[in-house]
A = this chain, B = another copy of it.
Amino acid sequence: MAENLSGKALATAIRADVAERAAKLTASGVTPALAIVVATDDDGTLWYVRSIVKAAEKVGVRAVIHTVENPTVEAIAATLTELAADDGTHGIILQTPLPKGVSLTDLAHLIPAAKDIDGASPVSAGNLVIGTPAFAPATAEACLELLAHHGVPLSGKRAVVIGRSAVVGKPVAQLLLRADATVTVTHSRTVDLPAVARTAEVLVVAIGRADFVTAEHVAPGAVVIDVGTNTAADGSLVGDVEAASVDGVAGVLSPVPGGVGPVTTALLLRHAVAAAEGGF
């Protein structure tokens, strides 16, 4: 059985740090506040957004959901522009999914880098590539934090990322590269994906398909990070990794739920506090 790369203890530690910093800010007259712009009535998304609000309240961060009625590009843009100019809002999250015909790339540039706590804007993405301070997408950063927390070395290691989304795959590749790993990005067009994946000492899976990665994708002893958050037929949360089969091959495996997820939420709150402090 693979070692369990739980994110719970790490998330707890991050939240404790956030609570301390939030209390200091509040004492100095600034209540750290984040805004979540929601343009969907998807149940799962609304549940997730409310879970962020609850987690924020627990650590002294104010989180406000801004639901955009009749969410056209223009209407969402107007909300983002208003929040960008609002001194009382330190962090802005534009929650996906967006309505049909509305793309994150049409809107993310409206979030100023200093408030872009989920690293969605082109400026944040570019700074991540170039190496200047910026907020990384929280999910991507959570993978690296989880690896660091469990003492997994990355310098010189072969890392393979499955998935090339702008939200996870590409930024996690940038962060792994910054940590001196040798990084391969794979995707739907990759030929013989299992063989490429088996070259990985560290395998990050962010393809968005339930149970996609099986034992044939994993080298014996590899570290496997499962970023997937898929909803199973029975409504439960399942990852991109078929844990039952991978567990016998991997050396270390992050669980879903309880791995990357709680760390991601904690990092969003840490970013909000950092933004309120005036940094990254």
Give the B-binding residues of A (Cβ under 8 A): 105, 108-109, 121-132, 134, 155-158, 164, 166, 170-171, 173-174, 177, 180, 182-187, 189-191, 196, 199
Residues of B within 8 A of A196 (CB): 158, 182
- B166 contacts A131, CB within 8 Å? yes
Report Cα–Cα, A177/B123, bound state, in Å: 20
Q: Bound complex: CA of A191 vs CA of B157, how far in Å?
A: 7
Q: Which residues of B contact A156 (CB under 8 A)?
A: 189-191
For A185, the chain B residues whose CB sits under 8 A away are: 173, 177, 182-184
Find out whether the CB atom of B177 lies under 8 angstroms from the CB atom of A182.
Answer: no
A118 to B123, CA, bound (A): 16
10 contacting pairs across A/B (C-beta < 8 A): A105-B132, A122-B122, A125-B125, A125-B130, A129-B171, A156-B190, A156-B191, A157-B191, A177-B187, A199-B199
| 3 cross-chain pairs, A with B, having the tightest CB-CB distances, nearest first | A126-B126, A122-B126, A125-B126
**A183 contact set on B, CB distance < 8 A:** 184-185
- Report how far A85 CA is from B123 CA in the complex, Å: 20
Bound-state CA distance A180–B185 (Å) is 10
Whether the Cβ atoms of A180 and B184 lie closer than 8 Å is no
Q: With A and B bound together, what is the CA distance between A186 and B122 in angstroms? A: 24
Per the bound structure, the CA–CA distance linking A183 and B187 in Å amounts to 10
Q: For residue A33, give the distance in angstroms from its CB to the closest CB of chain B.
A: 25
A201 to chain B, nearest CB (A): 10
Contact A189 B180, CB 8 Å, known A105-B130, A127-B122, A129-B166: yes
Q: Which residues of B contact A134 (CB under 8 A)?
A: 122
A177 partner residues in chain B, CB cutoff 8 A? 164, 170, 185, 187
Chain B residue at minimum C-beta to C-beta distance from A120: B130
Question: Which residues from chain B contact A199 at a C-beta distance below 8 Å?
Answer: 199
Taking a contact as CB atoms closer than 8 A, the residue among B121, B132, B174, B182 that contacts A184 in the complex is B182
A156-B191, A157-B191 are known contacts; what are 9 more A-B pairs with Cβ within 8 Å? A105-B131, A109-B123, A122-B132, A129-B166, A129-B170, A182-B186, A182-B189, A182-B191, A183-B185
Q: Shortest distance in angstroms between A240's beta carbon and chain B's nearest beta carbon?
A: 18
Query: Which chain B residues border A158 with CB–CB below 8 Å?
Result: 191, 196
Taking CB atoms, residues of chain B closer than 8 Å to A190 are 156, 182
Bound complex: CA of A188 vs CA of B198, how far in Å?
23
Q: Given that A121-B126, A126-B126, A129-B129 are known contacts, is A184 also in contact with B184, CB under 8 Å in the complex?
A: yes
Distance in angstroms between the alpha carbons of A166 and B121 in the assembled complex: 18
